[in-house]
Structure 1
Amino acid sequence: MDGDELIERALSTDFEGWDFSVLSGRLTEGDPDWDYETSAAEAVATAEAVLDMGTGGGEFLARLLPAPGRVTATESYPPNVPVARRRLEPLGVEVVATDADRDDVLPFEDARFDLVLNRHESFDAREVARILRPGGVFLTQQVGGGDLSELNAALGGPANPYGDWNLDAAAGLVAEAGLTVTTRREAFPPGRFTDVGAVVLYLRMAPWQIDGWDPAAHRDRLSALHDRMTADGGLAVRHHRFLVVARKPD
């Protein structure tokens, strides 16, 4: 399949939520030396009141259910909210729409949750501390600012605007909010885009990766990248992930 066909197919591919399965086999990612899903499942199994921040379409949270306690999820990207509700409400989860520009305001009373999960969602550490019960746990895996920097370079785009977001920055904010950090891990697992269509589809799903990116206006860059990927067998990249676990003092 030539580059133009790959690009056009990627531009017309339907997807919903944060279901990256449409990229299965076309964007690979090595595993960090921790398992967030297992840690989250173990925590949910003993929690009385759980919040999943930034649930997307509810794909990840649904894998952790059923749960013995009350489960709530937030989502700030409007197209994802009905997707999450269709998936999660039949499982007993309340899905709350939030404002993407106001992560410093969570619409919950103080000390409501004993577990707050956050997988790849922005957060205000002070708000997380406020809604946690004494003894409650905050478990988050974040995408670091160095994620897929090779992709930005290959397309001649600006660097990721969140380049300073890393383990030290996040753990520092969590500690400043009064939580005790118990676990901190960071990894840069290798990955690969197999074709230029996968690149276009990924940038449609995560447009914040390259600020101002427009596939129509930069078609020449995509064509050049297609030629490079054909010659090299894809585009090698590095993912950037980090894990923070923290506890609110009793």
Structure 2
Amino acid sequence: MKTDQLFQHYLKEAETDFSGWDFSHVTETGRLASGMLSWSYGSMAKTLMAESTSMLDMGTGGGELLSKLQPFPPRVCATEGYKPNFPIAKGRLEPFGVKVVEVEPDNQLRFPDKHFDLIINKHEEYEPSEVRRVLQDGGTFLTQQVGWSDCQDINRLLGAPVNEEYAHWNLEFAHKQLEGHGFKVLLSKQEFPVQRFYDIGALIYYLKAIPWQVVDFSVEDYVDLLFELHLKIKRAGYLDIKQDRFVLRAVGI
């Protein structure tokens, strides 16, 4: 291990700072790639935004995605509950007239009843009753979610425990939950694309950016198993990990 200079290089690179939800350090360099879905959350959001007058983006992260979905409806708000992301989102979105609101917990919405005709949500926790409360009758809720089984191959390969708290979180549960809180579901779909890591540094970067995948992850604690994966990637050229994604589009009734 000590004589593998490439592995040591990736361990050193893992010290790279991470902010917002910007994975460009590994995605735009082609070191991490995700398989295709049969739907586009961004395209669906753009279409709905064209007919909206007041919208909310839940869990905007650092505002990376929302900032690219312009032009905006006349009134646009965004929420963020992760404190390090909040100032990043404000700095990126407020120049475009977006009101960015910090929320805690992040599924509680500090807005009046029936305040929006469109609510979008990508990979953010939500409480259906809260979403329905601030959504106008006939308004649309669009969400793409990460299912519980997402990337559990990583945990298995590292011998790390899987968080059983969210074992129920899948398309069927979320669909029924929305129907039980005043929504009519118009689109309901789940798929399992592959996420491909082309070097161990990209995997380490991902695990540091997504701290809930392997709780309390540190390179030091997993260095031997990371080295084994590094050798596996060198032999095969990549490491494939199964993702879990589902999308729901619903209207308030």
Same structural fold, with TM-score higher than 0.5 when normalized by the shorter chain: yes
Q: Distance in 1 between matches of 2:106 and 2:183?
A: 18
1:13-52 maps to which residues of 2 (within 5 A)? Answer: 13-24=16-27, 25-52=30-57
1:67 corresponding residue in structure 2: 72
In structure 2, the gaps of 5 or more residues are none
Q: In the superposition, relative to structure 1, how do residues 43 and 77 fare at CA in structure 2: closer, same or farther (>3 Å)? A: same
One-letter amino acid of the counterpart of residue 200, structure 2: V
1:192 corresponding residue in structure 2: 196
Q: 2:209 aligns with which of 201, 205, 211?
A: 205
Q: In the superposition, relative to structure 1, how do residues 36 and 235 fare at CA in structure 2: closer, same or farther (>3 Å)? A: same
Confirm whether residue 118 of structure 1 aligns to residue 124 of structure 2: no
1:82-231 maps to which residues of 2 (within 5 A)? Answer: 82-99=87-104, 102-161=105-164, 162-231=166-235
In structure 1, the gaps of 5 or more residues are none
1:80 corresponding residue in structure 2: 85
- Which region of structure 1 is more displaced relative to structure 2, 132-141 or 190-199? 190-199
Give the TM-score normalised by structure 2.
0.93
Q: Distance in 2 between matches of 1:72 and 1:104?
A: 15
CA RMSD of aligned residues (A): 1.3
- Which region of structure 1 is more displaced relative to structure 2, 158-167 or 33-42? 158-167
2:12 corresponding residue in structure 1: 8
Identity of aligned pairs, percent?
Answer: 43
Q: Distance in 1 between matches of 2:174 and 2:124?
A: 12
Q: Distance in 1 between matches of 2:199 and 2:156?
A: 16
Q: In the superposition, relative to structure 1, how do residues 155 and 216 fare at CA in structure 2: closer, same or farther (>3 Å)? A: same
DSSP 3-state at the match of 2:60:
coil
DSSP 3-state at the match of 2:219:
coil
The answer as to whether partners of 1:157 and 1:213 remain within 8 angstroms in 2 is no
Q: Distance in 2 between matches of 1:237 and 1:166?
A: 18
One-letter amino acid of the counterpart of residue 117, structure 2: D
Q: Aligned pair count?
A: 246
One-letter amino acid of the counterpart of residue 72, structure 2: A
Confirm whether residue 245 of structure 1 aligns to residue 241 of structure 2: no
Confirm whether residue 55 of structure 1 aligns to residue 53 of structure 2: no
